[in-house]
Structure 1
Amino acid sequence: MNHHAPLSPAAELHANVSVPFERAFAMPKSVYTSPEFLALEQSHVFAQDWLCAGRAESLPDPGDYLTMEIAGEPVVVLRDRDGAIRAMSNVCRHRMSTLLQGRGKVRAITCPYHAWTYNLDGSLRGAPAMTLNEGFCKEALGLPAIRCAVWQGWIMVTLNPEAPAPAEALAEVTDLIAPFDMTGYRETFRESFRWATNWKVLAENFMESYHLPMCHAGTIGGASKLEEMVCPTGGAGFNYHWILKNDSVPLALAHPSNTTLEGDDRRKTWLLAIYPSLLITLTPGYFWYLSLTPDGPGHVQVLFGGGMSEDWLADPAAEAHLASVRALLDDVNVEDKGCTEKVYRGLCSGLAQPGPLSHLERPNFEFAQYLARRIPA
């Protein structure tokens, strides 16, 4: 019997998190590069947990919709006639074509194949040339509903009927950032892109600010100091850290008219990683976020958006401030794309070995622990 059979990627991950944080190493290469491990993530993580479809205010009116894919399942999220946000299967009940694409606004959902038409609540409204078929029962052919909740202004969707509601699972996050109250922020821009890296490399890049001075030397690297960074212990469903910003970006500070934020909170930037794949940067003036969908081991689809707090939105100079923040973020994204794509290329090499983590990478270790809790060895 061969005692030296290589461990499976899942077994390697479990071994990786079996040590105390002070002795922790980066996750094994196979966890990023193996299609077998990605299949486990799709079934145990993406098909089980809450994923973010964006901000509720991005669907302001009845009929406004967006589409997403969860673990290979096409999903449509829309605002219905009653003004509620709901999610449902984006697949026709006839010959199973997908229905809607991208984003937009509809009065009803019409299949592009045979024109079966569904109401905004998912019920079948009409189907041409079906009257002679005795097996056709319109009432039984609605689009299956998918769980959807709005938490702190974020649209959260899950395929798992048993998952605890976000308000319950993320109650600690709500308490942490209570003075900021994300519900009042408004999204002002949004785009999608696809990068040549594993989704976890990008998630982990967000979770630590150890890379800021080097990777972001041309942009935000100088706005915070490594010795001032704090990485507290996170929760079961999230990790976080924060940075105190100087005044080089006015929008990162509380608006002069803001009376609720006090002391350091007026210049605090929160970095919240909501497992598995919602990454939020929250400042007193603006926010930006990434919502990640794996596309094979070596690519990630990214929903990227951001906006401003209510008091900054009301400021006459807000647009100019936001334009400068937006330009800055675009430059930061270029830097992050370069760094995360280099990491994935390195992960695929034969001589690469994971190295020890810095004390500033506690969130990365907690993320590995979360994945190990979800994925059986």
Structure 2
Amino acid sequence: MGIEVKAARELAENVSAPFERAHAMPKSVYTDADFLALEQSRIFATEWICAGRAETLPNPGDYMTLTIAGEPVIVLRDATGIRAMSNVCRHRMSTLLEGRGHTKLIVCPYHAWTYNLDGTLRGAPAMQLNGSFCKEDNALPQVRCEIWQGWILVTLNPAAPSPEVTLKGVRELIPALDMATYTETYRETFRWATNWKVLAENFMESYHLPMCHKGTIGGASRLEEMVCPEGTEAFNYHSILKDDRVPLALAHPSNTTLQGEDRIKTWLLAIYPSLLITLTPGYFWYLSLTPDDPGHVNVLFGMGMSADWLADPEVPAHLAKVKALLDEVNAEDKGCTEKVYQGLLSSMAKPGPLSHLERPNYEFAQYLSRKTR
């Protein structure tokens, strides 16, 4: 408990300084296992976590699985829509489904207890002689699930405010780009050897683009054009302008709705705690993070395109170009963020002052401190 309180106290002291005098977060916030346990119980077990995109579950029986703060969860589409529920059998507590796929029923791999897609128990072999057994008492517990702008958001917290309320400001911020009209075309998962917050912070600032991404997108934006305004208690954001070296990030030539800078503007949205979205007029990509241990993060990575670009007859080539580009960008980010975590373990490491381009990082630290005090 002492280490946990110490790390939380150090973070509270860190964010007490005004932004103009702010420093990077203390090392203990990234490296202490007890602080991660605090994050799991007070952040990941109480906030909305992204499971992916709704369009990737188009048919009843399509499902995906995830683990939130140690809790196995199924997200699936049934006849009524997308729902979430416990991924643990009500008999001897085996997990039920793995990964992603399609199923007509949920069948336990241990004793074949079988559940309908809504989580109600359909059948339980050899239970008829148990006089106290009642199928109606053994449905899978339901988990809150909402679709927001095409994103499947799940929470273990029955009292969490709806994303439609807390994230209303995102829609107001970017009225010209409707994320619900974009379509995911690719996804994968990976595990990197860094702390989840290092990767989140890496996304939140574009200060690193010229150096970390010098082989790909680093030259497409200029530091002096980057805008980092104040965010909200639910998200932070910044924007950058892209030139035609990344043409698929620009509005499609057929698009007559977007005007001026909106045709070349890239938005970077950090939805707390761990949904990170890059949104351009042409494509989007995102990361959804769940911590594994202090030095490892599980990442859901997905990408897709706007309706304008998907309607282009050359869409296969466009998708291949975006995928190839993002693969390189991810490789660069992996190298940079894993180096940061290696440095955090050094006895001589010390948090340095933040740039004006790192305001989102400061606001993220404030959020973490509010949740862990």
The answer as to 2:259 corresponding to 1:254 is no
**What is the correspondence of 1:171-182 to structure 2 with a 5 Å cutoff?**
171-182=168-179
Match of 1:56 in 2: 54
The answer as to 2:29 corresponding to 1:31 is yes
Deviation at 1:260, TM superposition (A): 1.8
Q: Check conservation: 1:116, 1:126, Cα contact below 8 A.
A: yes
Deviation at 1:317, TM superposition (A): 1.4
- Tell me, in whole angstroms, the C-alpha distance in 2 between the residues paired with 1:347 and 1:240: 25
Aligned to 2:293, the other structure's residue is in SS state coil
Match of 2:44 in 1: 46
The answer as to 2:198 corresponding to 1:198 is no
Q: 2:302 aligns with which of 294, 300, 305?
A: 305
**What is the correspondence of 1:1-377 to structure 2 with a 5 Å cutoff?**
8-82=6-80, 84-376=81-373
Deviation at 1:178, TM superposition (A): 1.7
- Tell me, in whole angstroms, the C-alpha distance in 2 between the residues paired with 1:362 and 1:319: 38
One-letter amino acid matched to 1:161: P
Q: Check conservation: 1:194, 1:299, Cα contact below 8 A.
A: yes
For normalisation by structure 1, the TM-score amounts to 0.97
| Structure 1 pair 270–97 and aligned structure 2 pair: CA distance change class (3 A) | same
Deviation at 1:259, TM superposition (A): 2.0
- Tell me, in whole angstroms, the C-alpha distance in 1 between the residues paired with 2:291 and 2:231: 24
- Tell me, in whole angstroms, the C-alpha distance in 2 between the residues paired with 1:262 and 1:86: 38
| Structure 1 pair 109–6 and aligned structure 2 pair: CA distance change class (3 A) | closer
Aligned to 1:74, the other structure's residue is in SS state strand
- Tell me, in whole angstroms, the C-alpha distance in 2 between the residues paired with 1:296 and 1:200: 12
- Tell me, in whole angstroms, the C-alpha distance in 2 between the residues paired with 1:19 and 1:49: 26
Deviation at 1:81, TM superposition (A): 2.0
Aligned to 2:200, the other structure's residue is in SS state helix
- Tell me, in whole angstroms, the C-alpha distance in 2 between the residues paired with 1:179 and 1:336: 29
Q: Check conservation: 1:254, 1:284, Cα contact below 8 A.
A: yes
How big is each residue's C-alpha offset from its partner over 1:122-146, in whole Å with a ceiling of 9 and x where there is no partner? Answer: 0000000000001100001000000
Tell me which stretches of 4 or more aligned residues in structure 1 moved more than 4 Å: none
- Unaligned ranges ≥5, structure 2: none
One-letter amino acid matched to 1:305: G
For normalisation by structure 2, the TM-score amounts to 0.98
Aligned length: 371
Q: Check conservation: 2:4, 2:32, Cα contact below 8 A.
A: no
How big is each residue's C-alpha offset from its partner over 1:268-318, in whole Å with a ceiling of 9 and x where there is no partner? Answer: 100000000000000001000000010000000000010000111000112
Q: Percent identity?
A: 74
- Unaligned ranges ≥5, structure 1: none
How big is each residue's C-alpha offset from its partner over 1:28-65, in whole Å with a ceiling of 9 and x where there is no partner? Answer: 00000000000000001000100000000011100000
- Tell me, in whole angstroms, the C-alpha distance in 1 between the residues paired with 2:132 and 2:320: 57
How big is each residue's C-alpha offset from its partner over 1:321-360, in whole Å with a ceiling of 9 and x where there is no partner? Answer: 2211111110111110000000000001101000000000
One-letter amino acid matched to 2:239: W
| Structure 1 pair 7–122 and aligned structure 2 pair: CA distance change class (3 A) | closer
